[in-house]
Chains A and B, each alone.
Chain A
Amino acid sequence: MKITSVQIRNFRGIKSLDLELGETTVLVGENNTGKTSVMDALRLCLEDIEPRNRIVFDALDFHLPTDSSEPTSTDPIEITVTFSERFKGEWGTKIERLVGEYRIIQWQLGDIKTIQLHLQCFYDSYNSEFVQTWSFIDQNGNKSDDIPRFVFAEFSQLFQYYYLGALRDAAQHFDESGPFWKPFLINSQLSKKNREEIESKLVEINDLIVASHASFENVMVRLRELQSLVLLAQDDVVSVDAVPSRMFDILSRAQVQIRSKTGAMIPLVRHGEGTQSLSVLMLFSAFFDSHSKSTIFLALEEPEAHLHPSAIRILWKILQTYANQRLISTHSGELLAEVDIHDIRRLSQSSDGIKVHQVPLGLLSREESRKFNSHIRRAQSGLLYARCWLLVEGETESWIYPSAALALGWNLHDEGIRIVEYQQSDIAMLAKIGDALGILWYCVGDDDENRKKVEKKLLPIISDRDLNEKMEFPYPNIETNLLQHGYDQVYAQYVTDLRLPKKSSDESGYWEEYAKSIPKRSKTKAAADVAVLMEDQGEAGVPPQIRFVLEKLRHISQGG
C-alpha cells in the first residue's frame, strides 16, 4: 500500500493544493510556503482515524483568505488522501471485502486499486459548532457518508503514520512513554531466573539487561551507526544503563549512554543536539525494523537539523531504508544533492496561494538528466532553492551581474536570484526544470552566432510566451559592452599592444575588434577586476544594457 497523493483545501495558508507522493518525496520551498502545513494535514487526517472522535482541527487551521475572514464563515477544510496498491493485486481480498460493499474502491489504469480517504471540517452555524466528517470518495467522485465506524477502524489498521518534527529531543523520545522507545521496554524477554539475578546482583545488572534484552540490540546496532556520522569513541560506543530496582522500574528508567571521545559514558541527553537528533532517527529506524507489521509512512522534518553537511549525505542513504514511504522536508542543498529530481516537490507562494511544482517523469531526455545530475544536482543543488534564475553564457556574466546589481544598490542573493551558466550545460534542460519547479528564469546572451542556437533551443519550451519576456540579447558580446562603457583600462592590462586594433577608437567596429584581441584565458580575470571596479563606481558605472537586464530580472523575480 502506498499513498499516491494528498489533496488539501482551505487549510492554513493553503487554498488548494494537490501533492503527488512517491516512495520518497522531498518537500522544498522557502519558509512559510506550507511544508509544515502539508505534513500536518497528513498527520491530522491519518494519525487517528475515528469518525466520531474529537475535532482534530482548531479555528486557526481554517484558510482565511482576507484579514476580515472568520473560521465560521469560510469554506470547509478538506483533506483527501489517496491510497493505492503498489502493484496489481497487492491488497488481496481483505481490503476488498472490508470496503467493497460501500463502493469506494476505484480502479486505475492496469486495474490498480485505489481508495480515497476524505476528511472535512466546517462550521455548522445552526448548531454553532465545528463539524468534522470522515468519509471515502467513490469512483464517481461522490462522498460515501454511510460507512460504518468499524470500516474506518479496520482501515486504519492497515498502515501507521509517524511524524518526526524538526526538534528531535532525545529526552522526549527516549522517555518511557515515547512511541518508539516504549515498545522496546515492554517487550522484555527477561526470564524469571534472570530477574532474580538482576535483583540480587546489582553490580552485574547493566550487562545482564543488555545481554538478555534482545530488543535493545536493535537500538544499539542503529545507534552504533552514529559512529559513521559523528565522531565518537572507537569501541563499545553504546550501552544501555538501567537503574536497578524492580523490573518494570528498571525498564522504564532505562537510559541510553553513549561513550564520548574521551571514553566517558555520557547519557544521550547530555550530548549535543546533532547527536540527539540522529539518535532519535536511529531509534525510529530500530523501531521500524522490529515492530512494524503494517505499512509505515514517515513524515520527517528537516533531517539535516544540527548536522554537518557530510553527515547529511550519509544520513540520506540510511533514510532510504526507513519506513515504506517517506515524506521529508528539507532546506539542505547537501541533502538535495542526493535526491532524484523527480522526487522533489517545490512549494511556492504566489498571489493565488501556495502552489506545488514537480518535474514530471519523461520531461527530461536521458542526456538532459545526465547533464542535470552532473552540472546542477551534485555540484550546486542549492540552485533548486532559488526563486529566480538568471541564465548566462559564462563566467564573465557571473562576475559582472552580481556586482552590477550591488552597484545599483541591491543584492541578487537577497532577492532569491541565482546565476546559472548555460554554456557548459544545456539551456533547454535548465529552462525545462525551471518551468517545472516554478523557478522563474531569464536568459541573457550575446547577440552573435550563438543567439540562433539559444533561440532554437528555447523556442519549443516557451512557444506560448513572448520571446522577449524570457530572453535578452543586449550586446554583441559582454566584453565589447564593457569596453564601450569605460572599462577598457582594465582590459588594457591583459592585451598586448601588438594585438590591439589598428583603427582609431572613433571608427565603427573598434570595440568589437578590441574585444576579440582579449586572450580567452584572461577574460575571467579581467571580469573579476571589472566587477570590483563597477561596485566601487556605483550606479554610474553600470552600462545601460546591463542595467536594463537587471531591472527586467528584478521585475520578473518579483512575480512579473
Chain B
Amino acid sequence: MVNIQDLNDRQYEAVTRDGHLLVVAGKGSGKTTIIGERILQLMRASNDGGALVIATTPKDVSAIKKIIHQHSVSRKADPRITTFSQLTEWLLNYQGGRIGISPNFIPLHSHHDQELFMDDVVKDVFGAHHYLRDKCGDIVRIMEWLFSESYDPEYDDISPEWPGWISNLFKEYCNALLKANYQDSGSMLFFCNRLLKEHTFFTKHLNVLWTTICVDEFQNINQAQYNLLRYLAPNKHQSLLLVTDQYPVSQQWNGSSLKHFSALSDDYDLEIIQLPENFRCPPKIVKQASQLFQSKHSNNQVIVDSSNNSFTKLSVDFKIFYDHKEEVEYIAQCITSLGGDGKNCAVIAPTNRLVQATAFELQNLGIHPFVPENENYFESPVLRVILQILWLAHYPSDRTALNRLCHQWYLHTGNIIESQEVVTESVLFRIGFLNAWFNVAHRNEPREHHSTLMLIENHLIERFDFLTLISAFFDSISDIYRGDTHQSFLMNEVMKWKNLHQELIKKFGSRITLSDYITHFSPLSKMESSSPNSLQCITIERAKGLRFEHIFFAGMIQGSIPSYDAIRDGINSQKMDEERRHCFATMTRAQKSLTMTCSMEYFGSSAKPSQFIEEMGLQSITSNDHCSRVNTSTEEAIELPA
C-alpha cells in the first residue's frame, strides 16, 4: 500500500487530473491506491455528488474500500464500490419492478443451477425428449454469449447461419427467468440495460447520484457492461476513470471484446495516462519515460509535474555502440560491477531474435542468462497466425490456442474475431474450434482476407493437408511482399521456417504427422537455460508484470521499437502510440536503475537508434565515452570500470 505523498508524478497525475481518464496500469503500478485516492479527491472536490466504483472481484472491492475508509468524508454517503454483478442486482432490486422483476428475485450464481433451470426451459419449449436437453450446459454458454454481446431479440438479428431456435429460446429463457423470479449474471445486465433504456427518470437519477464513475480492469468488460456504463456516464457531467492493465492493442490479449475499446474514443474525450509498471520506479526514470508522451507526436499529451524529483544523482543513460558484440560486452561489464550473478537484473530486448542473440553473446562472456521458452517462435504476425492455425488444427478444443489465434489475427489484419463467438459457433454445430473460427471469419471478414481463408479451407478444412497449406502460405507471402525492403525481417523469418520445414521433412519423411511437426518445430537452437534465479534475458512482451532492480534495455533501434509496422503507419498513428506505451512500460519496470543501449549494426545490417530516444530528449553517449557513469542506485552512485 502506498500513501498519496509517496506517489510518483504520473500516479499523482492520475489521481488529480481533471476530465475523463483512461489509466493504463500494469501489475504493481499501485492502481488500487490510485482508484481510491482519485475517488476521494473527486468526492472532496464535488459538493455532494457520489461515486461508483466497479471492480472485478469482491477482493478488489474490499481493497478499494479499505483505502476510502481510511479517510472519512463527512456528511456524505460512502461511494458505492461494487462489481458488475452486485451493481446490476442492486439496480434491479431498486427499480426492477418497472420492467416486471420482483424485488426479491434469486440470482443463479452457479453454473449448475443455470443448467438445471435451462433444462426446464428446454423441456417446456421443445418437449421432454428433445436432443437439446442433453446440451443444456452448452446452451447456457450460448445465452451467456448473447447476454454479454448485449443481444436483444427485439432489435438484433443473430447470424443467419445459426439455427433459428436460438433467438426463440433466448426469449423463452428471459420470460422463464422472470416467471420463476430467477436471474443470472447475464440476464441481470440485460434487464438493467432495458430498465435504464426505458425508464429515463431512473437513469437520470443515477446520473445525478453518481458523478464519479470508475471501472477497474476495463479491458475485461463485455459489450453489455459497456452499454451499462454508457447509461451511467452518458455525458461530460460525469467524471470517468477507467483503469486497464494494458492498452488492448498489445501483444498479449486475453480474448475479451475489443469493440467497446474502439467505441470508447468516439464516446468520450479521454486522456490516457500510462503508469509506471512499478510504483518503486525512481521518479527520474518515470520522468524520463514520460517524455515519450509529451512528444508533439503522441496523441496522449500529458503534463508531467516535475517537482517530485529528489533523485538528482540518478541518471538514465543511453549508449550507442558500433556493433552488437560491443553492446553486450558493455552490459556484461555493468552486470559484473553490480555484484556478479545478476539475479536482480534483466536484459530486455524488443524482439525475440535480439534476445536470443544477446543471450548468446552473454553466454560467451561467461554470464549464464535465463531465457524463458517462448511460445511464439516468430515475430511476424502473419507467421504467428499460420502457426496458431496449425496448433488449433492439432488441438481442436484448446481455448488458449483459439484466443491466441484470434489475437494474432487481429494483429495481422486489424479485424476482430471474438473468440467467444467462435466458441458459440463450435458448440452450436458440434465442430472443432478451427472450423468454427473459419466459419465466423468467413462470415465477418472483408473480402481482402478471403484468399487467406480460402487457403485454409482448401487445405485444412476440406481435406487435412497441412504441408500443402504451409507451402501455399509461403507462396502467397512471397507474392504479396516481394520487393518490399521493409519486410526483409519477415522474409528472413519465412526463410528460417522454410529451412526448418525441410529439416523436419528430412527427419520424418513427407508423411510427417501434424503432431510430430508441431512438437519438433523449434526454429531456435536450444539454449542452455539456467535457473530463473539468474539474470533474465527476455522480450518486452515477456517482461509484462515483472520488475527488476536494474534493467538493461538493449537493442533500441528503429524497426524493433518502434516496429516497422508502427513506422509504416506513421508517427501519429495508434500503433506508434502503442509502441510508446510499450517503451514506457519497459523502462519503468526498473526499481533502481535503467540503462538503454543499441548498436549501429545487427546481424550484418546497419541500424538506426530508436526515434524514441530523441523523443525523450536523451543525449546519446557513444561507446568511446565509456568512462562516464552509466549506472547509479537510488542510494549512491556506483562507479563502473572504464
Bind each other: yes
- Known contacts A93-B48, A101-B80; decide if A139 and B208 are in contact (CB<8 Å): no
> In the complex, what distance in Å separates the CA atom of A102 from the CA atom of B78?
11
Interface pick from A103-111, A129-137, A347-355, A456-464: A103-111
Are B48 and A97 in touch, CB under 8 angstroms?
yes
> In the complex, what distance in Å separates the CA atom of A183 from the CA atom of B75?
27
> In the complex, what distance in Å separates the CA atom of A424 from the CA atom of B286?
96
A100 on the interface (CB 8 Å rule)? yes
Q: Note all chain B residues with C-beta closer than 8 A to A148.
A: 77
> In the complex, what distance in Å separates the CA atom of A142 from the CA atom of B94?
11
> In the complex, what distance in Å separates the CA atom of A98 from the CA atom of B201?
17
A502 on the interface (CB 8 Å rule)? no
Are B75 and A150 in touch, CB under 8 angstroms?
yes
- Known contacts A138-B94, A139-B97, A140-B103; decide if A94 and B48 are in contact (CB<8 Å): yes
Are A96 and B209 in touch, CB under 8 angstroms?
yes
Are B75 and A154 in touch, CB under 8 angstroms?
yes
Are A103 and B49 in touch, CB under 8 angstroms?
no
> In the complex, what distance in Å separates the CA atom of A173 from the CA atom of B208?
43
Are B208 and A97 in touch, CB under 8 angstroms?
yes
Select one of A102, A105, A107 contacting B77, CB under 8 A.
A102
Which residues of B in the span 80-96 have a Cβ within 8 Å of any Cβ on A? Answer: 80, 90, 93-95
Beta-carbon contacts of B526-570 to A below 8 Å, as 1s and 0s? Answer: 000000000000000000000000000000000000000000000
B59 on the interface (CB 8 Å rule)? no
Residue of B nearest to A102 (CB): B77
> In the complex, what distance in Å separates the CA atom of A140 from the CA atom of B92?
11
Are A96 and B208 in touch, CB under 8 angstroms?
yes
B248 on the interface (CB 8 Å rule)? no
Are B208 and A111 in touch, CB under 8 angstroms?
no
Q: Note all chain A residues with C-beta closer than 8 A to B49.
A: 93, 97
B202 on the interface (CB 8 Å rule)? yes
Beta-carbon contacts of B604-617 to A below 8 Å, as 1s and 0s? Answer: 00000000000000
Beta-carbon contacts of A79-115 to B below 8 Å, as 1s and 0s? Answer: 0000000000000011011101111010100010000
Minimum C-beta distance from A106 to chain B (A): 10
Q: Note all chain A residues with C-beta closer than 8 A to B93.
A: 103, 140
Residue of B nearest to A142 (CB): B103
> In the complex, what distance in Å separates the CA atom of A100 from the CA atom of B90?
12
- Known contacts A97-B49, A98-B48; decide if A111 and B209 are in contact (CB<8 Å): no
Are B50 and A100 in touch, CB under 8 angstroms?
yes
Minimum C-beta distance from A53 to chain B (A): 19
B205 on the interface (CB 8 Å rule)? yes
> In the complex, what distance in Å separates the CA atom of A162 from the CA atom of B201?
33
Minimum C-beta distance from A405 to chain B (A): 56
Are A101 and B75 in touch, CB under 8 angstroms?
no
Residue of A nearest to B90 (CB): A103
Residue of A nearest to B75 (CB): A150
Select one of A100, A151, A154 contacting B209, CB under 8 A.
A100
Are B94 and A101 in touch, CB under 8 angstroms?
no
> In the complex, what distance in Å separates the CA atom of A93 from the CA atom of B202?
13
Minimum C-beta distance from B418 to chain A (A): 35
Which residues of A in the span 30-67 have a Cβ within 8 Å of any Cβ on B? Answer: none
Minimum C-beta distance from A108 to chain B (A): 11
> In the complex, what distance in Å separates the CA atom of A148 from the CA atom of B73?
13
Which residues of A in the span 120-150 have a Cβ within 8 Å of any Cβ on B? Answer: 138-140, 142, 148, 150
> In the complex, what distance in Å separates the CA atom of A140 from the CA atom of B77?
22
Select one of A96, A98, A151 contacting B205, CB under 8 A.
A96
Minimum C-beta distance from A459 to chain B (A): 41
> In the complex, what distance in Å separates the CA atom of A139 from the CA atom of B93?
10
Are B50 and A101 in touch, CB under 8 angstroms?
yes
Are A93 and B208 in touch, CB under 8 angstroms?
yes
Minimum C-beta distance from A544 to chain B (A): 62
Beta-carbon contacts of B192-219 to A below 8 Å, as 1s and 0s? Answer: 0000000001100110110000000000
Q: Note all chain A residues with C-beta closer than 8 A to B205.
A: 96, 100, 105
Residue of B nearest to A94 (CB): B48
Minimum C-beta distance from B372 to chain A (A): 48
> In the complex, what distance in Å separates the CA atom of A138 from the CA atom of B206?
16
Are B201 and A97 in touch, CB under 8 angstroms?
no
Q: Note all chain A residues with C-beta closer than 8 A to B208.
A: 93, 96-97, 100
Residue picked from A94, A96, A138, A148, most chain B C-beta under 10 Å = A96
> In the complex, what distance in Å separates the CA atom of A107 from the CA atom of B94?
11
> In the complex, what distance in Å separates the CA atom of A151 from the CA atom of B80?
16
Residue of A nearest to B200 (CB): A111
> In the complex, what distance in Å separates the CA atom of A102 from the CA atom of B206?
12
Which residues of A in the span 474-532 have a Cβ within 8 Å of any Cβ on B? Answer: none
Q: Note all chain A residues with C-beta closer than 8 A to B80.
A: 101
Are B48 and A111 in touch, CB under 8 angstroms?
no
Are B77 and A111 in touch, CB under 8 angstroms?
no
Residue of B nearest to A107 (CB): B201
> In the complex, what distance in Å separates the CA atom of A148 from the CA atom of B78?
10
> In the complex, what distance in Å separates the CA atom of A154 from the CA atom of B48?
12
Q: Note all chain A residues with C-beta closer than 8 A to B202.
A: 107
> In the complex, what distance in Å separates the CA atom of A111 from the CA atom of B201?
7
Q: Note all chain B residues with C-beta closer than 8 A to A142.
A: 103
Q: Note all chain A residues with C-beta closer than 8 A to B77.
A: 97-98, 100-102, 148, 151
Which residues of A in the span 261-316 have a Cβ within 8 Å of any Cβ on B? Answer: none
> In the complex, what distance in Å separates the CA atom of A151 from the CA atom of B97?
26
Minimum C-beta distance from B48 to chain A (A): 4
Minimum C-beta distance from B89 to chain A (A): 12
> In the complex, what distance in Å separates the CA atom of A148 from the CA atom of B76?
10
Minimum C-beta distance from B1 to chain A (A): 26
Minimum C-beta distance from A139 to chain B (A): 7
Residue of B nearest to A111 (CB): B201
> In the complex, what distance in Å separates the CA atom of A139 from the CA atom of B205?
14
> In the complex, what distance in Å separates the CA atom of A150 from the CA atom of B48?
13
Q: Note all chain B residues with C-beta closer than 8 A to A102.
A: 77
Q: Note all chain B residues with C-beta closer than 8 A to A138.
A: 94
Q: Note all chain B residues with C-beta closer than 8 A to A98.
A: 48, 77
Beta-carbon contacts of A436-477 to B below 8 Å, as 1s and 0s? Answer: 000000000000000000000000000000000000000000
Residue of B nearest to A138 (CB): B94
Residue of B nearest to A148 (CB): B77
Which residues of B in the span 97-154 have a Cβ within 8 Å of any Cβ on A? Answer: 97, 103
Residue of B nearest to A103 (CB): B94
Residue of A nearest to B80 (CB): A101
Residue of A nearest to B52 (CB): A101
- Known contacts A101-B209, A102-B77; decide if A139 and B95 are in contact (CB<8 Å): yes
Minimum C-beta distance from B501 to chain A (A): 64
> In the complex, what distance in Å separates the CA atom of A103 from the CA atom of B209?
11
> In the complex, what distance in Å separates the CA atom of A100 from the CA atom of B48?
11
Are A97 and B50 in touch, CB under 8 angstroms?
yes
> In the complex, what distance in Å separates the CA atom of A467 from the CA atom of B93?
50
Are B209 and A97 in touch, CB under 8 angstroms?
yes
Q: Note all chain B residues with C-beta closer than 8 A to A107.
A: 95, 201-202
Residue of B nearest to A88 (CB): B201
> In the complex, what distance in Å separates the CA atom of A103 from the CA atom of B205?
11
Residue of B nearest to A153 (CB): B75
Minimum C-beta distance from B49 to chain A (A): 6
Which residues of B in the span 50-78 have a Cβ within 8 Å of any Cβ on A? Answer: 50, 74-75, 77-78
Minimum C-beta distance from A141 to chain B (A): 9
> In the complex, what distance in Å separates the CA atom of A93 from the CA atom of B80?
18
Smallest CB-CB A-B distances: 10 pairs: A100-B209, A101-B77, A111-B201, A140-B103, A97-B48, A103-B94, A96-B208, A93-B208, A150-B75, A107-B201
Q: A101-B50, A103-B94, A150-B74 are in contact. List 20 more A-B contacts (CB 8 A).
A: A93-B48, A93-B49, A93-B208, A94-B48, A97-B49, A97-B50, A97-B208, A97-B209, A100-B50, A100-B205, A100-B206, A100-B208, A100-B209, A103-B93, A105-B205, A107-B201, A107-B202, A111-B201, A140-B103, A142-B103
| Residues on A facing B (Cβ under 8 Å) | 93-94, 96-98, 100-103, 105, 107, 111, 138-140, 142, 148, 150-151, 154
The contact sample of 22 A-B pairs, CB cut-off 8 A, is A93-B48, A93-B49, A96-B205, A96-B208, A96-B209, A97-B77, A97-B208, A97-B209, A98-B48, A100-B205, A100-B206, A100-B209, A101-B50, A101-B77, A101-B78, A101-B209, A103-B93, A105-B205, A111-B201, A140-B97, A140-B103, A148-B77
